[in-house]
């Protein structure tokens, strides 16, 4: 297992700066995700790691080796593409063996390693089939086996599940995590799918405009976004503007149009001062809604609109001239039960105070 270090990496395409002096360390054996909106720089960063793009400034290290100027085939990195990139005229076995043949590995070893790679992704019974005889999920397994057969020191994945349906995406998420653990690979995975990243990443980075906004374990970044852009990208958080009344110990009290709200600082290293303008971010599922006024950070209002989805309901909660998005699991407030005055409250642990 190796670490991957990215130091002051900058990449320009004419006047467009795709990456701006990025610094990032990916730990040995880590399944690390790069997330962000389209055009944020995540695919450009992955292509720089693979050697398909040469950065204008900065360095890339695989372990202790500087690979910044190395050609892709000399980096010993496996690549899994969004489009699978399988040769249509070759069989499954021939597709997987292709990289070994290019490296002039002995034929007996090619046969053995190809079989082992296909068995590792549960495709050992499909050696003689052509790609057009496989489902999308099976083709992606073959693409994964092809990347693994060369025994890479790291695995790079570019939105590998985006062409699969929802059921197959769920299946392949677990499969990719299993394979990375089994082969003890350091893996960098690009996606725009938040659920994909939250479900299997060890850590993740949120990018925007070629810069890294936040890095951390999925639960930490989801529950404690450090910036408004992170909260907006990872969830459907509602944003409530306000002014700080007091702050300290990683917490703050904010005066808003809905009343005073106590919450946690998204970035405790940048504490606001009394009088500073901030934003309170609350995820829809964090509100507790009911008839009784109870709990901290309680606001009064009524349901202006509701969408019933069986296991949950989505409400537009109208209060003090604002509309909050609220999600109720195992919903009770449907039909006549949703009429009249209601109260919504949120625990201070789930109200995040954002300075930026």
Percent share of the chain, pLDDT over 70: 99
Rounded to two decimals, the pTM is 0.87
**Rounded CA separation 39/334 (Å):** 41
Tell whether the model's pLDDT for residue 280 goes beyond 60. yes
Asked whether the CA dihedral 136, 202, 221, 346 is positive or negative, the reply is positive
Give the model confidence (pLDDT) of 248-258 as tens digits.
999 999 999 99
Name residue 280's beta-bridge partners. Answer: 240, 353
The whole-number pLDDT of residue 335 equals 63
Give the model confidence (pLDDT) of 163-190 as tens digits.
777 777 888 888 888 888 888 889 999 9
Give the model confidence (pLDDT) of 53-100 as tens digits.
999 999 999 999 999 999 988 888 988 887 778 889 999 999 999 888
Mean pLDDT of 311-319: 90
Buried-exposed string 218-244: b where 16+ CB fall within 10 A, e elsewhere: beebbbbbbbbbbbebbbebbebebeb
The whole-number pLDDT of residue 334 equals 67
Percent share of the chain, pLDDT over 90: 57
Task: List, in order, residues 6 or more apart from 301 with CB less than 8 Å away.
Answer: 317, 318, 319, 320, 324, 341, 342, 343, 344
The whole-number pLDDT of residue 18 equals 94
Q: How far is CA 323 from CA 68, 238, 244, 287, 317, in A?
A: 50, 9, 21, 13, 5
Mean pLDDT of 117-132: 88
What is the pLDDT of the chain when averaged over all its residues? 90
Tell whether the model's pLDDT for residue 281 goes beyond 90. yes
Mean pLDDT of 138-153: 87
**Rounded CA separation 234/49 (Å):** 25
Mean pLDDT of 332-351: 83
The whole-number pLDDT of residue 227 equals 94
Give the model confidence (pLDDT) of 93-107 as tens digits.
999 998 888 888 899
Tokens of 341: 């005055």
Q: Is-contact 64 140, C-beta < 8 A?
A: no
Name the residue with higher pLDDT: 332 or 22. 22
CATH numbers and ranges of domains, the chain = 4-223 (3.40.50.300), 236-354 (2.40.50.100)
């Amino acid at each position: 297992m190796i670490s991957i270090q990215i130091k002051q990496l900058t990449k320009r395409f004419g006047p467009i700066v795709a990456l701006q002096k990025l610094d990032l360390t990916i730990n040995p054996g880590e399944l690390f995700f790069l997330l962000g909106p389209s055009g944020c720089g995540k695919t450009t960063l992955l292509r720089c790691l693979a050697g398909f793009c040469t950065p204008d400034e900065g360095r890339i290290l695989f372990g202790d080796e500087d690979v910044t100027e190395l050609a892709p085939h000399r980096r010993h990195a496996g690549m899994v593409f969004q489009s699978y990139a399988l040769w249509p005229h070759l069989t499954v076995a021939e597709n997987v063996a292709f990289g070994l043949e290019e490296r002039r590995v002995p034929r007996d070893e090619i046969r053995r390693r190809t079989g082992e790679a296909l068995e590792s992704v549960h495709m050992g019974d499909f050696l003689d089939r052509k790609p057009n005889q496989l489902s999308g999920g099976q083709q992606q397994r073959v693409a994964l086996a092809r990347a693994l057969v060369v025994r890479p020191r790291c695995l790079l994945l570019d939105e590998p599940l985006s062409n699969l349906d929802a059921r197959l995406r769920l299946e392949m998420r677990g499969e990719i995590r299993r394979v990375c653990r089994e082969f003890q690979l350091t893996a960098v995975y690009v996606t725009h799918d938040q659920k994909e990243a939250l479900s299997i990443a060890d850590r993740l980075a949120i990018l925007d405009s070629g810069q890294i906004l936040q890095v951390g374990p999925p639960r930490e970044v989801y529950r404690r976004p450090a910036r408004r852009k992170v909260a907006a990208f990872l969830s459907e958080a509602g944003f409530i503007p306000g002014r700080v009344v007091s702050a300290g110990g990683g917490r703050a009290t904010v005066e808003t149009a809905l009343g005073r709200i106590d919450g946690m600082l998204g970035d405790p290293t940048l504490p606001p001062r009394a009088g500073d303008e901030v934003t309170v971010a609350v995820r829809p599922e964090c509100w507790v809604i009911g008839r009784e006024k109870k709990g901290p950070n309680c606001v009064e209002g009524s349901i202006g609109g509701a969408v019933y989805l069986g296991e949950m309901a989505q409400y537009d909660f109208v209060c003090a001239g604002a509309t909050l998005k609220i999600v109720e699991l195992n919903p009770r407030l449907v039909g006549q039960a949703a009429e009249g005055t209601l109260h919504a409250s949120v625990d201070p642990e789930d109200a995040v105070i954002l300075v930026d």
